[in-house]
Amino acid sequence: MNTNIYGSKITRLIEEFSKLPGIGHKTAQRLAFYLLSQPASRAESLADAIVGARHGAMYCSICCNITDVDPCAICSSARRDKSLIMVVETPKDLAAYENTNNYSGLYHVLHGAINPIAGIRPEHIKAAELVRRLGNMKDEVKEVILATNTTVEGEATAVYISKLLAPLGVTVSRIAHGIPVGGDLEYVDAVTLIRALEGRRGM
């Protein structure tokens, strides 16, 4: 099939869309044509939002979540329970728990899970930052909730972090297994997430 029947610029737009996760060629083509059917200001607004987010994005210096202000809105909120820190693998997992509206503590984002086969070792995730953070907060934190995914990698990461935190004397718990084994938190419904949080156990 001739992929250049629309001209080089439109073809490039389709190709760029098709590089996004979960977007095949047909969906990329539909997105491109939709965008081309909109006013020029709509395309410019989208382009500006993408560039602005890419250049403005940073890690929160406290929780390591993706943000464009430092510290992030959660860490700087006076309404959050600072005695609780939930450890999650990704910003999407954080969003999943926030969307339940049932957790009012703080978070720590690891940006991955230990996976030796994929070359992801403990130093590649934000575990050391968590230890430093707890050291800085002294006796303020009463419990760390390990909410890594229930995959083999997530479980290994939870065990590693629990051992890492043991000398600090803080209570470490693990979310309950109401979440399907091998499941990713971002795809789990709110009720299951809430029950997993409420049924957490010590480690």
In this prediction, residue 17 has a pLDDT band, given cuts at 50, 70 and 90, of very high
pLDDT digits 0-9 by tens, 66-78: 999 999 999 999 9
Range in 60-64, 133-137, 142-146, 196-200 with the lowest mean pLDDT? 196-200
pLDDT digits 0-9 by tens, 166-198: 999 899 999 876 555 555 666 666 756 666 666
Average pLDDT over residues 28-38: 95
Asked: is 8-56 a CATH 1.20.140.10 domain? The reply is no
Q: Where are the alpha helices (DSSP H) in the chain?
A: 8-18, 25-37, 40-56, 91-98, 127-137, 152-165, 190-198
Give yes or no on whether 8-56 and 66-202 have one common fold.
no
Q: What CATH fold (topology level) applies to the domain 66-202?
A: Dna Topoisomerase Vi A Subunit; Chain: A, domain 2 (3.40.1360)
- Rounded CA gap, 152 and 160, in Å? 12
User: Could you give the angle at the alpha carbon of 51 between the alpha carbons of 45 and 57, nearest 5°?
Assistant: 125
**Would you state the pLDDT for residue 138?**
74
Model-level pTM? Answer: 0.77
In this prediction, residue 203 has a pLDDT band, given cuts at 50, 70 and 90, of low
pLDDT digits 0-9 by tens, 86-141: 999 999 999 999 998 989 999 999 999 999 999 999 999 999 999 999 988 878 99
Which sequence spans correspond to the domains of the chain?
Answer: 8-56, 66-202
**Closest listed residue to residue 108, CA positions, set 156, 160, 144, 55:** 144
For helices 152-165 and 127-137, the axis angle rounded to 10 degrees is 30
* Mean pLDDT of the chain, nearest integer: 89
Q: For residues 136 and 157, which has the higher predicted lDDT (pLDDT)?
A: 157
